[in-house]
Structure 1
Amino acid sequence: MLKNIILCIAGIFFTNSCLAQAQETTRKSRWLTDSVYEAYTVLKTDKNIKHGPYRALFLKKKPVAEGDYANNIKTGLWHFYNEKGEQLQTYNYTTKAFEFLAPADTTTYLHYVVDKKITPADKVTLPVKLGGTYYGYIPYLRLFDVPNKMYAMIQANKDYIEVLVELLVSPGGRLADYKISLNIDRRLLKAFNMNPNLPDPADVIFTPATVNGEPVTSRILIKAYITDDNHLDYE
């Protein structure tokens, strides 16, 4: 009987040791955009799986996102900031609820259009993207690549090209359309219809805009520029 108990304890210890070893992590870091640097840990057994603390920093200085992953899933409290380090959101991924939400700032590189006639008496709330108005919109910038056939022309005129990312959000709070336009002197150079079915399902979900408490269609306009690696970053 004693021998069986000892063997049982040894088995539990061995199992726990294996589980602990399976969760060993190693550090990784990279530039997510020209201005955002991210540092995080991944499993040693699979370096594509984030596990442990995560931080995204504006120019390696001010945090724009920080929280924890558990086997590639965000967990617990996450804090999101703008590039000045001002807090925009605190979201609890365990309870699926905002614990802090700053008032919308309409003076940034983001602009909003509500597809409904508004009167001064109307109460309007703007659409909300989890991740805040800085970190939350990076995926829509990073998905764009300059087409090879346009590469030479874009590089020659890059300083003169204005980029506008347009997201259409339905009253149900889903990304309904996703466009990117390149303009020179306010004239359309090329428009791209992007796939609204983004790789991360979380990036198609918004809190919709409302007018007097009724959800409405809205558009989010993001001013950007073309980076040296032919992606986009905030203007």
Structure 2
Amino acid sequence: MKIIFFTICTLLLSLSTLAQETLLQAQKLTKDIVLIYNVLKDNKQIKDGLFQARYQKSKALASGLYRNDKRVGVWHFFDKQGTLTQNFDYDNNRLTYEAPDDSNFTYVIDKDFKQTDTVTKPIRIGGRCYGYIPYLLLFQKPADLLYYDRESISVTLELLISPAGNLADYTIHLSGFEYKNDLNVNINLLNAEDKIFVPATMNGEQIASRILVRCKMDNIGRLVL
């Protein structure tokens, strides 16, 4: 009994020591989204512990664990209303839940297929809200849009996904009355984890695909879903 008690005390002491080696950080990602996470005390570039992305301070957009700057376990992703949109198991690299599709998202398979073929769509790891924020943040409003009403401009993100599930290309299509512009975005500005997708498949074979996302500009020229 004493041995068991000593083991438990040792474990609790170890956990306490580990907890003291991390610091809580808060980072504003956008006007409405704050990232809250722990970093190692001796290396503040390495996340370790609980991570949350919160919308308007109270609603979670993402929740999961980091271990030595690597996502582990099952992560949960939500929309701005707090509805669960996706669960992803990072330990087994497996999607365990995906909510029904949003009408703003269209998927294109870069291969001819028949009705008898079994086709699955590409999926952004991170869900259809939090997962797409990194792409929205890369948008810079073109100078020639200065005199256009933002509500008259149609905006579509086009993401090319390789058969391996990597982001291969990113274009923002802008169009309106007597206006058209296609912006090529430098994907090297993204973090490695923001370039990872579950690839599309046809009859079990991974294939190239595209994701088209309709969005809009807010009153200061930022993209929002």
Name the TM-score, length of structure 1 as normaliser: 0.74
Offset, 1:178: 0.8
| Equivalence for 2:21 | 23
Cα distance in 1, alignment partners of residues 99 and 20 from structure 2: 42
CA contact (8 A) 1:28 1:42 kept: no
CA contact (8 A) 1:197 1:204 kept: no
Given the superposition, is the C-alpha separation of residues 214 and 43 from structure 1 closer, same or farther in structure 2, using an over 3 Å criterion?
closer
Q: 2:81 aligns to what SS in structure 1? A: coil
Cα distance in 1, alignment partners of residues 21 and 222 from structure 2: 34
Matches within 5 A, 1:110-129: 110-129=105-124
Mark the runs of 5 or more structure 1 residues left unpaired by the alignment: 1-15
| Equivalence for 1:6 | none
Q: 1:136 aligns to what SS in structure 2? A: helix
Structure 1 position 145 matched with structure 2 position 140: yes
Letter paired with 1:178: Y
Offset, 1:208: 1.4
The two structures, once aligned, show a CA RMSD in angstroms of 2.9
Given the superposition, is the C-alpha separation of residues 99 and 167 from structure 1 closer, same or farther in structure 2, using an over 3 Å criterion?
closer
CA contact (8 A) 2:26 2:34 kept: no
Cα distance in 1, alignment partners of residues 62 and 154 from structure 2: 27
Structure 1 position 193 matched with structure 2 position 188: no
Offset, 1:25: 0.9
Letter paired with 1:136: G
Cα distance in 1, alignment partners of residues 114 and 80 from structure 2: 33
CA contact (8 A) 1:34 1:227 kept: no
Cα distance in 2, alignment partners of residues 205 and 79 from structure 1: 16
Matches within 5 A, 1:152-171: 153-154=145-146, 156-171=148-163
Offset, 1:191: 1.1
CA contact (8 A) 1:166 1:219 kept: yes
Offset, 1:176: 1.8
Given the superposition, is the C-alpha separation of residues 52 and 21 from structure 1 closer, same or farther in structure 2, using an over 3 Å criterion?
closer
Cα distance in 2, alignment partners of residues 136 and 159 from structure 1: 24
Cα distance in 2, alignment partners of residues 216 and 99 from structure 1: 18
Cα distance in 2, alignment partners of residues 188 and 113 from structure 1: 25
Q: What is the aligned counterpart of 2:129 among 110, 134, 154? A: 134
Given the superposition, is the C-alpha separation of residues 39 and 228 from structure 1 closer, same or farther in structure 2, using an over 3 Å criterion?
farther
Name the TM-score, length of structure 2 as normaliser: 0.77
Q: Percent identity?
A: 37
Q: What is the aligned counterpart of 1:39 among 29, 36, 41? A: 36
| Equivalence for 2:80 | 83
Report Cα offsets for 1:26-66 as digits up to 9, x if no partner: 34142x34553433344555655434322123343432210
Letter paired with 1:139: P
Given the superposition, is the C-alpha separation of residues 48 and 157 from structure 1 closer, same or farther in structure 2, using an over 3 Å criterion?
farther
| Equivalence for 2:65 | 68
Larger Rg: 1
Q: 1:197 aligns to what SS in structure 2? A: helix
CA contact (8 A) 1:23 1:44 kept: yes
Q: 1:57 aligns to what SS in structure 2? A: strand
Aligned length: 210
Given the superposition, is the C-alpha separation of residues 83 and 123 from structure 1 closer, same or farther in structure 2, using an over 3 Å criterion?
farther
Given the superposition, is the C-alpha separation of residues 196 and 188 from structure 1 closer, same or farther in structure 2, using an over 3 Å criterion?
farther
